[in-house]
Chains A and B, each alone.
Chain A
Amino acid sequence: MAIDHERDLGLAREFWQNPFSIHSPALAALMRELRREDPANRHFLLLVDPGRKWMLARTDSHSATGFSFYEDKLFDSPEEAEWEIFRLRWKRITGRELPLSFERGANQ
């Protein structure tokens, strides 16, 4: 599916509110699109401080180790990381920035 920043902002909010839940069919379709990444350049989380800190990383065929680590992208929870990578992928596809957060409880 093509992702449209204005039209799909509500789906972004739905994900932000609860990344680990039963998603609406529209969000599920959007997630399938966002999660489609080249295996040679695929994002993942590295556990750097068990139960406390996660670092964003990706496979990188140009790196000697096969990986690139984003040492400035550290998260306190998997939920926080999910939202950050959601925003990163959203921008890659739409060219538009999502807010760091939404107002909790407000309508889109």
Chain B
Amino acid sequence: MTDSHVPRRTLLRYGAYGAGAAALAATAASWERLTGADIPGRDDGSLVVATLGSAFDPATVEALTQGFHRLHPDIPLRVNAVQAVDWSDFFAKILTQIAAGTAPDLVYVATEGVQLFAQRLGVPLDRWVRRDAAELREYFADVHPSLVESMMYEGNLYQLPMEFNAADIYLNKQVLKRAGAGFPAADWSRDDFTALLREMKRAGDAHFTPYFWTNRLWGGVMPWLFANGTNLLKESKAPGGSWLWDTFYPAADRQGRGGGFRWTTPQATADRVEEAYDYLASLVQENLCSRPEGGNGSNLVGVFSTGRVGVTPAGGFWAGGLHLAGMRAADYDVQYFPRWRTQRHQFGAAGYALLRTSKKQEAAWEFIKYAARKDTMTRLFQSNQTTPARRSMLNAARYAASGPAHWQVFYDTLDRFPDTGPIPAPPQVAEVTDVLLKYTGTALASPRAVGPALRRMQGDLEQAMEREV
């Protein structure tokens, strides 16, 4: 056999290949390159705060970081602005980070996720709030107790509310003028609302939609359920919380407060729920409003500002959006949601939640306190992209440029209607939201579809609420 006899030339060639490969490997190994440790916020010892990316602009985040650094130079801070379409998308991304072992220390969480985070991931702030009560007294005096209560779960406080938005009604004044209609009174009724839509429709062209609404938990069918004195899930309050109410709020404000909301039994087939759906179905049938799935917040500013929509539910966040879209303060205004059986409003709030997995809990609490300071919040919420949780921040100067004229409505929704409450958001909120959106679309296909759709909604909600999150 001669196969094993390697010719000298072959040996040299393969030797050269081997040397080349070894040189390449050595070069690659020594090359300075990015690794997992280079990902911002990973293992660099910083306090990591995850926020909904689109909520704060980079300059605001920079101001937040620098301000905190001046106060606490020993606590390195990194703000992780997570880009997401909505709160549900944001939570999904945060949970993915947690699953990947890169959990932030603090997460900006809205009402939709308060109970889910509290039940599974959050740390109650009670001991720190008690410890620093003197320091926080000014904060609580400036923040409505309903907002604070919405951040409690089973007697414990999980977040300090930073912002909120109640579902009020925005009216296009150009459309009102065209229809020859006056600005509605604060206590306008559902029938007044319907009559206004009809007047607007008569005065508008074929492409005009009097009432534009969206299919979602906040600002969709829910405000109508609240106004009709009902809710999707039976609402009650957890015991406890007196440690907070007794410390920070006067007796009048403590009345009826508890340890946070409980949303338990589904009641989609209740008469009042069906009545609200029937009403909305009749508006759709009469072409007085868009079908809910047709609309979303992103195209709404454009159609509202150009006079193709008359009224829509929105919160203080819309003042900034309309201003950016070129609307002047005199072009639009805001009024409370119309009264039906009640004039109870709904709201959603947000604040920083401290995660159990955080190893820097003391530092995280310092950040929460810093974020809740009035000067910090003033820097954060400059462009009316939301309603600040501090009452004192809502003043004429803030709304002078952007409007609306009745800017007091934003905070007065809480002050004038003390029963105004948060959107129903139990720990199973994701599934509840999916079921609500799905069957709202089905129910409004025709007036006769309401009953069967709500019966199926009830079944699915019962299943969702039984599920362990």
A, B in one complex: no
What is B's interface to A at a CB cutoff of 8 Å?
A: none
